[in-house]
Structure 1
Amino acid sequence: WSRERVQNHFRRLLKPRLSGLIFYILLTIFVLFSFTSLGPKFPSSYGFSSKDKRQDNSKGVPSAIQGLCNDDDEIHLLILVTSSADHFNERQAIRSTWGHPDYLSTYSTRLIFLLANPNNLSTQRMIVEEYRTYGDLIQEDFVESYMNLTLKTVMGIKWASLHCSRASYVMKTDDDIFVNVPLLTTHLTNSFKPVNGDPSALLPPAHPLFAAGAGYVFSGGLLPHLFEASKHIRIIPVEDVYITGHLGKAVDAHPPLHDDRFSCGEIVRNNCHMKKVSEYSLIKKHKTLLNEFM
């Protein structure tokens, strides 16, 4: 064969293969772009900086809530309540009952709601108005979803470590939980003892021991240490496992202790039932209308 004929032969062989290769390269680029564009949005960094990054993405809700935790206040208990952005009724039910500011102040307790981005302009406008009225919520710009509950709790720990670090104790709970504040604060004052466990003596199969359920309490002095640990330990979407298990173990607050009064085995449906269970339980799950507690 002549040289020109050989070159033409190889061009015919390579042309379809080259076209296929270009197709697969383009397909790979498309798939990678799609995966990076979808799914939950996680903040690029939890780190402290000279300017709080939340100021730039707080969606109209300031990162520092004026007056909630003043430096000269003696705060016994800070309650962080995770709440879905559109749960306006649930938050109002708490404010009107066990979480009323005047009622909480009697027990040197403060409460703050933790919200994410609803990705809905009308809902966000209502949230901003809610903040202006009550001044008891913080919000960061990540997707509002159950899978991001861990991020929401870390957000609360970050805020508390910056703006409410003098709180003696911190509780995390949900917006469908009724907290027996008098009994809880009395329990913390009279019978709470720090955990001094030996994590090396435990060999869990997958995760460290953790406090499962609708609420847990830890010492306020752990706030900066938990937040610092969250920068280095990979986040998992199971919030109580991450906070009380992995972060707790990292800061030597492990293993957690359980009290049977942190029980949510039955649903409280009215105020008479609440009176009955409140004599013993520290927290209870409620499923009720606002006017039933009024």
Structure 2
Amino acid sequence: MASCLCRYRRRILFFCSPCILLLPVYIYVSIALCYVMKHGAPGAHVVHSVLPTHFTASGLKHSRDLAPHPAKSFWRSELDGSALWNIIQFMTDRQYNPILRPHLAANASGVSYNTETSRRTGVGCSPNYEINNIMPDYANLPIQIKNFVTAMHCRDYPLLIDPLDVCDPQAKKWAPVLLMAIKTQSANFDNREAIRETWGRSGRIKTRGRRQRLVRRVFLLGKSKDLHIEEKLHLESEKYGDIIQWDFMDTFFNLTLKDVLFWDWFSRRCPHAHFIFKGDDDVFVRTPAVLDYLLAEAANRSFSHGSRQANKMETFVVGDVISSATPIRSNGTKYYIPESFYKGWYPSYPGGGGVIYSGSLAHRLLEVSQKVHLFPIDDVYLGMCLQRLGVYPIHHPAFLTFDFPKDEPKEPCANHTILLVHKRSPAEMFQLWTETSTPSPECRNTMLRVKPRPD
């Protein structure tokens, strides 16, 4: 009997011992919880307000009793006293922010400006003269700035001339290797004629390596006030079929419209072109050398068939890259940008005289341009779009958008070292085309220019 009791005692102790040991812990935790619920944590500040459903967390703050918690805003809720473009772009960024978009407050900046108006068509989009109440110096601005800011919310303009035979949008196999999109104006007939007969020829073009590649050409225009010139332009379009014209006034500050509208045209009419050259009608381009350069770049950047990695050409853009530029505040220049309109540095951008980018990048530019407000200088606007895409333009010394430096053009084979040079008259285009198409034995194997750009 005694042995039986001993055996049961051991079992009872075995099961009860953990409970006895945990009992003080349970009592301590219960007392602590009751104290905190009644009085709050020692040293903690009692917060009487209730957090909203959506709130902006703030920076980082350390406390002896609490875990690190926010102290500063992750993003600004408003821009006080900033420039007009910066405010509008700030509002646009908030609109497309995937975190903020579901619960954006009303316009915090005090600027009554609807970013969705950029979706309107040119026909239904009228000037916004309320801008003069927002820009304090509006009355003293040059007319080109006034015209731009009152209409910069309009970006969709109907086509007046739309060539249909430049590309076959369905035939990817027969897409051009290079599509040349040349900015011009209605009155510049001589420039267009020279380009058609020299570096801008359309068709199968021989590279310097004797390979043939398909090249197509279009000219990008707005409209002018001269009705006689406009009539001649329509006749020119019927003859050559390479004119694209939109229903906006062709001014310097409207060159950005040619970019965004061309990207849309490209996506519909010539979506499979491998590369796009976009430049002015007073440059000279060594097209055979450009084709060799692009074919080599495509070969170096593309992965073998079946690779899981994407083609790196979707980030390809090359030209004369300008970095660390700031707005020109001198009222006497055509590049004048008042501080009331834009503050800050410009992003790195390729000079607008001539730039080349891949067709796949052009599709991405079209998409991102819907989220970047129009800016009056087209090459700066391209840099803004590239910055949003995380794409860095490649600087190539053979793109001379500011001409040769000093005495370099006097060297015997100087014109054989370039891909592009700016500015050249129609007569100079013919001369350069003859010289570079039939190089002398001395210049036949000249390499592309690699000299650094002078400071």
Please give the TM-score of this superposition, normalised by the length of structure 2. Answer: 0.48
Other-structure match for 1:172: 278
Q: Is the 8 A contact 2:204 2:214 kept in 1?
A: no
Query: How many Å apart are 1:45 and its aligned residue?
Result: 4.3
Q: 2:276, 2:253 → 1: CA distance?
A: 23
1:212-270, Cα deviation, whole Å (9 max, x unpaired): 24111111012222112222211111111111x11112233x21111111113437xxx
Other-structure match for 1:68: 166
Higher helix share: 1
Query: How many Å apart are 1:277 and its aligned residue?
Result: 3.7
Query: How many Å apart are 1:290 and its aligned residue?
Result: 3.8
Matching of residue 39 in structure 1 with residue 147 in structure 2? yes
Choose from 263, 276, 287 the match for 1:157. 263
Query: How many Å apart are 1:149 and its aligned residue?
Result: 1.0
Ranges in structure 2 where 5+ consecutive residues have no aligned partner: 1-127, 134-142, 207-211, 302-311, 317-322, 326-343, 432-455
SS of the aligned residue for 1:211 comes to strand
Could you say if the C-alpha distance between residues 114 and 102 of structure 1 is closer, same or farther in structure 2, counting changes exceeding 3 Å?
same
SS of the aligned residue for 2:386 comes to helix
Choose from 288, 302, 305 the match for 1:182. 288
Identity of aligned residues (%): 25
Q: 1:256, 1:190 → 2: CA distance?
A: 17
Matching of residue 114 in structure 1 with residue 220 in structure 2? yes
Could you say if the C-alpha distance between residues 275 and 217 of structure 1 is closer, same or farther in structure 2, counting changes exceeding 3 Å?
farther
Q: 1:213, 1:33 → 2: CA distance?
A: 31
Could you say if the C-alpha distance between residues 279 and 152 of structure 1 is closer, same or farther in structure 2, counting changes exceeding 3 Å?
same
SS of the aligned residue for 2:216 comes to strand
Q: 2:287, 2:411 → 1: CA distance?
A: 13
Matching of residue 250 in structure 1 with residue 388 in structure 2? yes
Q: 2:410, 2:286 → 1: CA distance?
A: 13
1:10-46, Cα deviation, whole Å (9 max, x unpaired): xxxxxxxxxxxxxxxxxxxxx9589799724557343
Code of the residue aligned with 2:180 in structure 1: it is: I
SS of the aligned residue for 2:181 comes to strand
Choose from 345, 362, 376 the match for 1:206. 345
Q: Is the 8 A contact 1:82 1:153 kept in 2?
A: no
Q: Which has the higher contact order (CA 8 A, sep 6+)?
A: 1
Please give the TM-score of this superposition, normalised by the length of structure 1. Answer: 0.72
Q: 1:41-60 to 2 correspondence within 5 Å?
A: 44-46=154-156, 54-55=158-159, 58=160
Q: 1:194-273 to 2 correspondence within 5 Å?
A: 194=312, 195=315, 206-243=345-382, 245-252=383-390, 254-266=391-403
Code of the residue aligned with 2:385 in structure 1: it is: L
Could you say if the C-alpha distance between residues 274 and 203 of structure 1 is closer, same or farther in structure 2, counting changes exceeding 3 Å?
closer
Other-structure match for 2:417: 280
Q: 2:132, 2:232 → 1: CA distance?
A: 32
Q: Is the 8 A contact 1:115 1:140 kept in 2?
A: yes
Other-structure match for 2:187: 86
Ranges in structure 1 where 5+ consecutive residues have no aligned partner: 1-30, 47-52, 197-201
Q: 1:273, 1:126 → 2: CA distance?
A: 39
Q: Is the 8 A contact 1:42 1:142 kept in 2?
A: no
Which range moved further: 202-211 or 155-164? 202-211
SS of the aligned residue for 2:394 comes to coil
Count of aligned pairs: 241
Query: How many Å apart are 1:291 and its aligned residue?
Result: 8.5
Q: 1:42, 1:121 → 2: CA distance?
A: 25
